[in-house]
Amino acid sequence: MSGGLLVAGTTSDAGKSVLTAGICRWLHRRGVKVAPFKAQNMSNNSAVVVGPDGRGGEIGRAQAMQAAACGVAPDLRFNPVLLKPGSDRSSQVVLLGEAVDTVTAGNYHALRPRLAEAAFAALAELREAYEVVVCEGAGSPAEINLRAGDYVNMGLARHAGLPTIVVGDIDRGGVFASMFGTVALLDPADQALVAGFVINKFRGDLGLLRPGLDMLARVTGRPTYGVLPWHLDLWLDAEDSLAYGRVLGRPAAPHGTEWLDVAVVRLPRISNATDVEALATEPGVRVRLTVEPAELAAADLVVLPGSKSTVTDLAWLRQTGLADAVAAHAAAGKPLLGICGGFQMLGRAVHDEVESRAGSVAGLGLLPVEVTFAARKTVRQTAGTAAADAGVPVRGYEIHHGHVSSADPGLPPLLAYDDGTGEGAVLGAVCGTHWHGAFESDAFRRRFLTDAARLAGRTGFRVAPDTSFAAARERSLDLLGDLVEEHLDTTALWRLVESGPPAGLPFVPPGAPR
Residue 138 belongs to some domain of the structure: yes
* Mean pLDDT, residues 431-448 taken together: 96
Q: How many domains would you assign to the chain?
A: 2
- Any domain includes 254: no
Interior CA angle at 320 toward 314 and 323, to 5°?
Answer: 50
The pLDDT, as a whole number, for residue 249 is 79
For the residues 231-242, what does the mean pLDDT come to? 67
Give the residue ranges of DSSP H helices in 234-354. 277-280, 293-298, 310-320, 322-331, 341-346
* Mean pLDDT, residues 492-511: 94
Supply the pLDDT for residue 403.
95
Domain boundary among 436, 463, 490: 463
Do residues 421 and 484 both lie within one domain?
Answer: no
The side-by-side arrangement of strands in the sheet containing 285-290 is 285-290, 260-265, 301-304, 336-339, 430-433, 425-427
> For the chain, what is the total number of helices (H) and then of strands (E)?
15, 26
304 lies in the same domain as 208:
no
61: in domain: yes
Q: Which of 240-244, 296-300, 306-310, 441-445 is the least confident region? A: 240-244
pLDDT at residue 379 in the model: 93
Measured in residues, the chain has a length of 514
In a domain, 335, yes or no: yes
Going by DSSP bridges, is the β-strand pair 389-407/422-423 parallel, antiparallel, or unpaired? unpaired
Residues 196 and 284 in one domain: no
List the CATH number of the domain containing 275.
Answer: 3.40.50.880
Are 366 and 480 members of one domain? no
Q: Which residues are catalytic?
A: 340, 436
Please write the tens of the pLDDT for every residue from 127-150. Answer: 999 999 999 999 999 998 889 899
Q: Does 484 lie in the same domain as 449? A: no
Residue 398 CB neighbours (<10 A): 20
* Residue 400, domain extent: 260-463
Q: Are residues 266 and 218 in the same domain?
A: no
CATH number at residue 18: 3.40.50.300
User: For residue 445, what are the β-bridge partners?
Assistant: none
Last residue within a domain, chosen from 418, 439, 463? 463
**Residue 239, pLDDT score:** 65
Q: What is the pLDDT of residue 238?
A: 67
pLDDT at 1 over 70: no
Cis omega (within 30 of 0) for bond into 85: no
Give me the pLDDT at residue 54, please. Answer: 85
Domain end among 419, 438, 463:
463
Percent of the chain topping pLDDT 70: 98
- 224 and 268 part of one domain: no
Q: For residue 250, is it within any domain?
A: no
pTM, rounded to two decimals: 0.92
Q: Which residues are 370's β-sheet partners?
A: 349, 406
Same structural domain, 223 and 297: no
Rounded to an integer, what distance in angstroms lies between the CA atom of residue 369 and that of residue 361? 13
The pLDDT, as a whole number, for residue 188 is 96
pLDDT, averaged across the chain: 93
The model's pLDDT over 308-364, given as tens digits with 9 standing for 90+, comes to 999 999 999 999 999 999 999 999 999 999 999 999 999 999 999 988 888 999 999
Residue 35 pLDDT level (bands cut at 50, 70, 90)? very high
Is 22 found in the same domain as 145?
A: yes
Is 69 in the same domain as 205? Answer: yes
Q: Are residues 418 and 482 in the same domain?
A: no
Which pLDDT score is estimated for 514?
Answer: 65
| Model confidence pLDDT, tens digit, residues 441-493 | 999 999 999 999 999 999 999 999 999 999 999 999 999 999 999 999 999 99
Candidates 483, 74, 18, 78; CA nearest to 241 is 18
Dist. CA 190–CA 162, nearest whole Å: 10
CB neighbour class for 90 (10 Å; exposed up to 12, middle 13-18, buried from 19): middle
459 lies in the same domain as 478: no
